[in-house]
Amino acid sequence: MTAACAGLDALGVARLVGYDDVQTVASACLKLAPVDPVVTTGWVLAAAPAVDALARDLSHLTDARDIPAAGAP
């Protein structure tokens, strides 16, 4: 609902969710390992094409049962 109110379309929401997941992992790594923040920023940037591709592949789905998942929530 928030995304719709902000004017994001389905593709924008899918990108946002994907980016949030990637940056969450990068942020956690900074807390758990002695890694340079520039390195983790590079990981996020390197993941951008994969996030965009996944967003394009999933943004048309309207039924949660159609979303591919590797495990249970």
Q: What is d(CA 45, CA 43) in angstroms, rounded to the nearest whole number?
A: 5
pLDDT per residue as tens digits for the range 11-64: 998 899 899 999 999 999 999 999 999 999 999 999 999 999 999 998 888 887
Confidence band, pLDDT 50/70/90 cuts, at residue 73: low
Residue 59 pLDDT: 87
What are the residue boundaries of the structural domains of the chain, listed by start?
Answer: 2-61
Global pTM? 0.76
CB within 8 Å of 28: residues ≥ 6 apart = none
